[in-house]
Amino acid sequence: MAPIYELSRVTRLYGSRRVVNIEALEIHPGEILAVVGPSGAGKSTLLRLLNFLEAPDGGIVRFHQQAMDYFHVPLQIQRSVTTVFQNPALLTASVVANLQFGLRLRGLKDGRKEVSQILDQLGLTHLKQAPADTLSGGEAQRVALARALVLNPEVLLLDEPTANLDPYNVELIESVIRELNSSHQVTMVLVTHNVFQARRLADRVALMLNGEIIEIADTQTFFEKPQDGRTHAFTRGEMVW
């Protein structure tokens, strides 16, 4: 099956600093690709490139084999990808209004059934009418995930979705990610510091350092037979840069 994304010699500069420098990367339909690496490796910037929120300074990003012009991304393509960020940025509104937000952007008034289902799936039904600014960190992150899921995206990008959360919320969010991937074949790119989480969830894992992908392999190979010494060190919890 043809890849959803094909990145070729993609670079992104912040000033003179090259924060992303990817020679080649393919992301396949229905897979969960985990991108691991230390802070400042360029993982979050990569997600913004994949969500068409930032334009690369060089190279080509193909989405469904179509080379993307980042200044004229078709709305239909823009809306087939969504991100759940590390810090859930919720609207000053109720939980249910946050979930309906993306549907309303698309002119879909009736999403009551889907909203209820997802609220239930993420254990948020009792908080349906609660103002978003009264939620705990874990609840807010679950709302952010629910808000993305209700849109039924083709690609879901997850930027440290469980950072700083308690084990209950981590387990809940991970189980929803697994369920969504297996039942709807949603393609996911998961950025995480947590190698254990990458191992639990991902089909493939990539190590990113200084904007470059050092190694990418299926999860078992990545953890058990890494080719690069830095991957080996990172998976053992050692400092790499």
Query: Closest distance between another protein and the C-beta of residue 73, in Å?
Result: 11
Task: Check: CB of residue 82 under 8 Å from CB of residue 109.
Answer: no
Q: Which member of 39, 92, 129, 183 binds another protein (CB under 8 A)?
A: 92
Q: Which member of 13, 64, 101, 125 binds another protein (CB under 8 A)?
A: 101
Query: Closest distance between another protein and the C-beta of residue 50, in Å?
Result: 11
Nearer to another protein, 75 or 239 (CB): 75
Q: Which member of 65, 78, 136, 164 binds another protein (CB under 8 A)?
A: 78
Q: Does 119 bind another protein (CB under 8 A)?
A: no
- Give the position of tokens 């629910």: 146
Nearer to another protein, 103 or 202 (CB): 103
Angle at 170 between CA 169 and CA 172, to 5 degrees: 60
Query: Closest distance between another protein and the C-beta of residue 230, in Å?
Result: 30
Size of the site for another protein (CB under 8 A): 24
Q: Which member of 119, 145, 146, 148 binds another protein (CB under 8 A)?
A: 148
- Kindly state the tokens that stand for 76: 């239909």
Nearer to another protein, 87 or 227 (CB): 87
Site string for another protein, 25-64 (x = CB under 8 A): -----------------------x--x-x-----------
Q: Which member of 19, 61, 83, 176 binds another protein (CB under 8 A)?
A: 83
Binding residues for another protein (CB under 8 A): 48, 51, 53, 75, 78-79, 81-83, 85, 87, 89-92, 101-102, 105-106, 144, 147-148, 151, 157
